[in-house]
Amino acid sequence: MDVRSATTADADAIRDIARQSMEASYSLSPSAIDTAIRNWYGDEELAEKFDDEELFFLLVESDDGVLAFSESTVVGDQGDILWLHVDPMYRGEGVGTELFGRTREVLAEHGGGSLRGRVLADNEQGNTFYEEHGLVKTGEGRVEIDDTPYVENIYTEQTADDLDPLTGPDGERLFVDRADSDRGSKGPFYVVWMDRGREEAYGYFCGNCESLVTSMDSMGQMECNECGNHRKPTRWDAAYM
C-alpha cells in the first residue's frame, strides 16, 4: 500500500471513490452527489487543483488500484483537511489511517502546525474517525446542500475556547475563531462569532487586511471589499451565513 500525489491520470478513480464514499457516508440525494462530483472533480477542476501548489492531493494505491484520496491545504498556520475519502470496501483496514498520517506529515512540512477537519454531523463514521485520531469537536457550521440545511462539525487540535475578542463596527463584542478558517487568494478568512459558545455566526474576518466580511453569494464565494481577498468554495455551496 503506497501513498502518492495524484495526477490527472487518476481522475476517473478519484471520481469513483468520491461518489462511493459520499453515497455510503451521507444522507444526500443522488442529484446532490452528482452536482458535487461534477463541480469538484470534473477534468478541468482537477487539473486546476493539481496545478495549485498550495493544495495537496494524495491517494492510496495498492495492487487493487486506488483505494482512497485526501485533499488538503494550509490556511495560516493550520493544516486543513478538506476531504478524506476511502472506498467503502476498504474501510476498517487501516487505509484511512495511513492516508491521514501522510496527509498530516505533508501539511506539517508546509507549515500546518495544527489540524482541522470538517464532516457533516450525520456522518457517524467520519466523526468517529476524527475523534479516534486525536481531533476534538470545537464548533459547528451550517451548510445548505441541494436546498436542504445540514450541520457540519468542525474538528481541530485546538481547544474549544481558542477565540480572539474583537470589537465590531457598532461596538459589539465579537469573537474571531482562529481554529475555523478558509483559504483566500491573499490570506485566510476566519469565522467570526457573536458569542463564545459559537451559537450565532456574524461573518468572516479577513486575515490579509483585518476587515470584517458579512456577505457571501449563493455559491459560497466571497470577497473582501477592502483588499480584494477572494474565497472560492472547495466544499459545500454555502456556509455560516
Res 23 pLDDT > 80: yes
pLDDT at 220: 60
Res 56 pLDDT > 90: yes
The residue among 96, 154, 82 whose CA lies nearest residue 125 is 96
> What gap in Å lies between CA 23 and CA 224, rounded to an integer?
35
Angle of helix 11-25 relative to helix 43-51, nearest 10 degrees, comes to 100
pLDDT at 46: 93
Question: Which residues are within 8 A (CB) of 43 and not within 5 positions of it... i.e. 6 or more apart?
Answer: 8, 11
> What gap in Å lies between CA 164 and CA 179, rounded to an integer?
10
The residue among 88, 179, 180, 101 whose CA lies nearest residue 133 is 101
Res 57 pLDDT > 90: yes
Residue 190 C-alpha cell reads as 476566519
> What gap in Å lies between CA 26 and CA 30, rounded to an integer?
11
Whole-number mean pLDDT of the chain? 86
Buried-state track 38-57, b at ≥16 Cβ within 10 A, e below 16: eebbeeeebeebbeeeebbb
> Is the Cβ–Cβ distance between 149 and 122 less than 8 Å?
no
CATH of domain 2-156: 3.40.630.30
> What gap in Å lies between CA 137 and CA 131, rounded to an integer?
8
Range(s) of the chain covered by CATH 3.40.630.30: 2-156
> Is the Cβ–Cβ distance between 24 and 141 less than 8 Å?
no
The residue among 154, 107, 149, 120 whose CA lies nearest residue 135 is 154
> What is the tens place of the pLDDT at every residue in 168-212?
888 898 999 877 778 888 888 888 989 887 778 888 999 889 999
Res 102 pLDDT > 50: yes
pLDDT at 219: 53
Residue 145 C-alpha cell reads as 446542500
Residue 97 — very low, low, confident or very high, per pLDDT cuts 50/70/90? very high
Cross-strand bridge partners of residue 80:
73, 116
pLDDT at 2: 93
pLDDT at 217: 61
pLDDT at 241: 28
> What is the tens place of the pLDDT at every residue in 135-178?
988 878 777 776 777 888 889 886 555 688 888 888 898 999 87
Which is higher by pLDDT, 140 or 103? Answer: 103
> Is the Cβ–Cβ distance between 144 and 150 less than 8 Å?
yes
